[in-house]
């Protein structure tokens, strides 16, 4: 959530900044609601002064010749009228504050100054390219054909069990999927300084509001039926980041490094994506991710984004998968993000780079929604943390990239060198291995 003080200071400047995200901020509505709230507060203060004055009038009325009972009755009548007006003003202020909260809850984060202009992904800017796409001397298959020919990837059975956009993996391919998770967790905990955490796969609405999925993106979520309001997590970002909701972190703890990695399944309805990537594992309702989350001092978040993105890149480099790094333009930037790098892996079956990780700096946007704070030792006062997260990596899409980049002419699949230790020394998968 944006800082309401900043919005009050110059709502038109906020609206102009949000134009970079192609979001129209209604500054007139904000100013009207804020003025209504402010006027209700002023009127309440005036009435409180009148109430204080009225309560002292009994003696003065008696001096005018009224009896004690008559004076009390007159003052009580005045006080009752004031109390009634105060209740109405309290409700007016409450309604205005709730409307302001609802308005600001639906407003995205401000983009960083160095975020490029642009309406959609075609305007994202490539900042790095690593590795060279392999030259094949045979007809390249996509991951669906490679996986099905190995006998390790089955979409028909998944559709029978559940429906479309689910998959079943068998044998060596299921083992490789598990090995990828272990490689990622081991690398991030041993080499990059993250602490592994295990979290619930169900979260409450408050957690989703904290990270920005609610209220705007409820259609993208799976909500459970029952007495409790639970949602399946769309990403481990939600439960991991909310570990520090309503918390104050001491500077000594923060400076040791609050870095967390977490493997979870993720569940997304993919609302509005009908017709996109319906073939294969690129866009599914259930998939696995290894997430990276950091909490840092405000003056360290820009540097932390570069570091975190590098940690995700390290996995692609270990697997020797060609990729490129792009900075998202304003129109393609996520709701909560201040700045985002996407890592896009080369998929020869599509002759294209496709997203495999998004790494974002949220500034204090999520922290303000969650009241996640740290105690500044210079002032002794709590201040908002900065939060960051990224995929390190999306496991299914990493498997897709391996299927397409490591396929062989005879239909077998080479096992990347970095995974062989996790797969009992296997150098390749044949159809019989699945």
Q: Please count the helices (runs of H) and the strands (runs of E) in the chain.
A: 15, 17
Handedness of CA 164, 430, 320, 312 (dihedral sign): positive
358 as an active site residue: the answer is yes
* CA–CA gap between residue 159 and residue 312 (Å, rounded): 32
**325, 327, 329, 331 alpha-carbon torsion, rounded to 10°:** 70
* CA–CA gap between residue 289 and residue 395 (Å, rounded): 5
Burial class (CB in 10 A: 0-12, 13-18, 19+), 362: buried
Cβ atoms of residues 109 and 365 within 8 Å: yes
Q: Is it true that the peptide bond before 215 is cis, omega within 30 degrees of 0?
A: yes
Q: Which of 175, 268, 368, 373 is catalytic?
A: 268
117 is in an annotated binding site: no
Residues 6+ apart with CB under 8 A from 174: 152
391 is in an annotated binding site: yes
Residues 6+ apart with CB under 8 A from 392: 184, 188, 261, 290, 291, 292, 311, 312, 315, 357
50 as an active site residue: the answer is no
355 is in an annotated binding site: yes
Q: Which of 301, 358, 360, 412 is catalytic?
A: 358
37 as an active site residue: the answer is no
88 is in an annotated binding site: no
* CA–CA gap between residue 157 and residue 66 (Å, rounded): 91
270 is in an annotated binding site: yes
253 is in an annotated binding site: no
109 is in an annotated binding site: no
**38, 40, 43, 49 alpha-carbon torsion, rounded to 10°:** -90
Q: Which of 283, 297, 324, 354 is catalytic?
A: 283
End-to-end CA distance of the chain: 48
**Helix (H) or strand (E) segment spanning residue 294:** strand 286-296
Q: Using DSSP, state whether 176 is helix, strand or coil.
A: helix
Q: Which of 355, 375, 420, 428 is catalytic?
A: 355
164 is in an annotated binding site: no
* CA–CA gap between residue 355 and residue 380 (Å, rounded): 42
Which residue in 401, 395, 400 sits closest to 422, CA to CA? Answer: 395
Q: Which of 175, 209, 373, 397 is catalytic?
A: 397
Residues 6+ apart with CB under 8 A from 227: none
36 is in an annotated binding site: no
237 is in an annotated binding site: yes
- Find the angle CA(87)-CA(89)-CA(95) to the nearest 5 degrees: 105
357 is in an annotated binding site: yes
Largest CA distance in the chain: 112
269 is in an annotated binding site: yes
User: Residue ranges for the binding site for L-serine?
Assistant: 235-237, 268, 291, 389, 391
Active-site positions? 268, 283, 355, 358, 397
User: Residue ranges for the binding site for ATP?
Assistant: 268-270, 355-358
User: Residue ranges for the binding site?
Assistant: 235-237, 268-270, 291, 355-358, 389, 391
């Amino acid at each position: 959530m944006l800082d309401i003080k900043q919005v009050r200071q110059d709502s038109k400047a906020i609206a102009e900044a949000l134009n970079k995200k192609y979001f129209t901020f209604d500054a007139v509505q904000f100013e009207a609601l804020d003025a209504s709230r402010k006027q209700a507060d002023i009127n309440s203060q005036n009435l409180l002064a009148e109430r204080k004055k009225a309560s002292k009038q009994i003696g003065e009325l008696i001096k005018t010749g009224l009896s004690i009972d008559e004076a009390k009755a007159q003052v009580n009548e005045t006080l009752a009228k004031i109390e009634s007006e105060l209740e109405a003003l309290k409700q007016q202020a409450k309604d205005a504050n709730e409307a302001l909260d609802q308005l600001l809850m639906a407003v995205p984060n401000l983009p960083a100054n160095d975020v490029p202009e642009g309406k959609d992904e075609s305007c994202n800017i490539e900042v790095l390219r690593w590795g060279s796409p392999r030259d094949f001397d045979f007809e390249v298959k996509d991951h669906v054909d490679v996986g099905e020919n190995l006998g390790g990837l089955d979409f028909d059975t998944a559709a029978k069990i559940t429906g479309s956009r689910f998959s079943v993996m068998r044998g060596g391919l299921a083992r490789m999927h598990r090995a990828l998770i272990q490689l990622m967790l081991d690398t991030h905990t041993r080499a990059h300084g993250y602490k592994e955490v295990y979290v619930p796969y169900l979260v409450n609405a408050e957690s989703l509001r904290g990270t920005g999925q609610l209220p705007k993106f409820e259609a993208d979520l799976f909500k459970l039926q029952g007495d409790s309001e639970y949602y399946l997590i769309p990403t481990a970002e939600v439960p991991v980041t909310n570990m520090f909701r309503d918390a104050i972190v001491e500077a000594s703890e923060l400076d040791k490094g609050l870095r967390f990695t977490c493997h979870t399944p993720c569940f997304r309805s993919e609302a509005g994506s009908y017709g996109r990537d319906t073939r294969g594992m690129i866009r599914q309702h259930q998939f696995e991710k290894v997430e990276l989350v950091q909490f840092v001092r405000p003056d360290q978040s820009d540097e932390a984004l570069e570091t975190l993105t590098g940690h995700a890149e390290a996995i692609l480099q270990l697997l020797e998968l060609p990729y490129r790094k792009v900075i998202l333009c304003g129109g393609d930037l996520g709701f909560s993000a201040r700045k985002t790098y996407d890592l896009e892996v080369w998929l020869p079956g599509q002759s294209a780079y496709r997203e495999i990780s998004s790494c974002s700096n949220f500034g204090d946007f999520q922290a303000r929604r969650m009241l996640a704070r740290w105690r500044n030792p210079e002032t002794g006062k709590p201040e908002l943390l900065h939060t960051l997260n990224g995929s390190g990596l999306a496991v299914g899409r990493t498997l897709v990239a391996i299927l397409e980049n490591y396929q062989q002419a005879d239909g077998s699949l080479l096992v990347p060198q970095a995974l062989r230790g996790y797969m009992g020394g296997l150098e390749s998968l044949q159809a019989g291995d699945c």
